Amino acid sequence: MQQSSENNDGKKKIVICISGMAGSGKSTVAKRLAKHYGLKYCSGGDALKAVAAEMGFKTTGEGWWETSEGAKFLKQRLNNLDIDKKVDEKLLEWADRGGVVLDSWAMPWLLKKGFKIWLDASEETRAKRLAERDGLAPEEALKVLRDKETKTKEIYSRLYGFNLGEDYKPFQLILDVNLLSKDEVFEALRLVIDKMVK
């Protein structure tokens, strides 16, 4: 199993990929791991938001994906799969250089190298986190979550043929985060990365 690539000066360049459904905490821990190890943080979601902004969407706010603008952009992605394909090609370029923590849904299936982690959280846990983060009623958060995930799963199924949230073959580690705090998730992953990747 190759978990890192070599650059020209012979130094190993780590590639870590964090994935999980919305509300699992993947972005939070991916940023923290990148900072801890001095790696570049690359987000598929941020790259897609940049594309959305170029297309004229207003992309402000942390919970943008759950807004009406985010929902409109998601529909655009369903009608034009090239949007996701271009973003994924860019992420693969960054991964090829190494020294990165990738926060992405598609990369675990597309990358041939790297250490791939899936954060597993129940729908109830994720909806609760989403409600707290975005100030939504629990029922509304659950509705938004389900709608977004149904469309996102369709995009990746049509584009690459994998079942997001159901197919765990690419992952070296699956971590149940339902009962863990953000600090506990970080510490658990740090211990595993120190042992298995570094």
Q: What is the pLDDT of residue 121?
A: 97
Single pTM value for the model? 0.86
Is the model's pLDDT at 9 over the cut of 50?
A: no
Q: Span 54-72, mean pLDDT?
A: 85
Q: What is the pLDDT of residue 32?
A: 98
The kind and range of the H/E element at 16 are strand 12-20
Exposure string for 111-142, b = 16+ CB within 10 A, e = fewer = beebbbbbbbbeeebbbbbbbeebebeeeebb
Contacts of 182 (CB under 8 A, 6+ apart): 25, 28, 29, 32
Please give the domain boundaries of the chain with CATH numbers for all domains.
4-196 (3.40.50.300)
pLDDT in tens, 79-125: 999 999 989 998 999 999 999 999 999 999 999 999 999 999 999 99
Q: What is the pLDDT of residue 12?
A: 58
